[in-house]
């Protein structure tokens, strides 16, 4: 399967080692949304309203694309939303 969507983490390859399956995905330089939320809690700061709206739209766009491909992501959560250059990417894990 080759998903071609701007905001979905790209799958590079996979390999098996000692009965474990490893997936190699595109590198996302800013960690997950869960990391960002944790950082905001520690620093007692908030995301801007504009940032939250932008990210929400990106997540909706990703999910709509997956649905058009007959894929349902059943575990969307902050830990599976990766950030790269201040854009959100949905990781299918």
Active site residue 75: yes
pLDDT on residue 16: 93
**What digits encode the pLDDT tens for the residues 10-31?**
778 899 999 999 988 888 788 8
State the catalytic residue, choosing from 29, 50, 62, 75: 75
**What digits encode the pLDDT tens for the residues 57-72?**
888 888 898 899 898 8
Residue 65 exposed, middle or buried by CB count within 10 Å (0-12, 13-18, 19+): middle
């Amino acid at each position: 399967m080759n998903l071609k969507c701007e905001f979905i983490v790209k799958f590079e390859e996979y390999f098996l080692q000692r009965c474990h399956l490893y997936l190699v995905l595109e590198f996302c330089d800013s960690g997950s949304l869960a990391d960002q939320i944790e950082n905001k809690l520690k620093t007692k700061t908030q995301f801007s309203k504009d940032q939250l709206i932008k990210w929400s739209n990106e997540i909706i766009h990703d999910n709509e694309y997956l649905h058009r491909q007959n894929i349902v992501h059943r575990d969307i959560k902050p830990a599976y939303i990766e950030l790269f250059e201040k854009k959100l990417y949905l990781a299918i894990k």
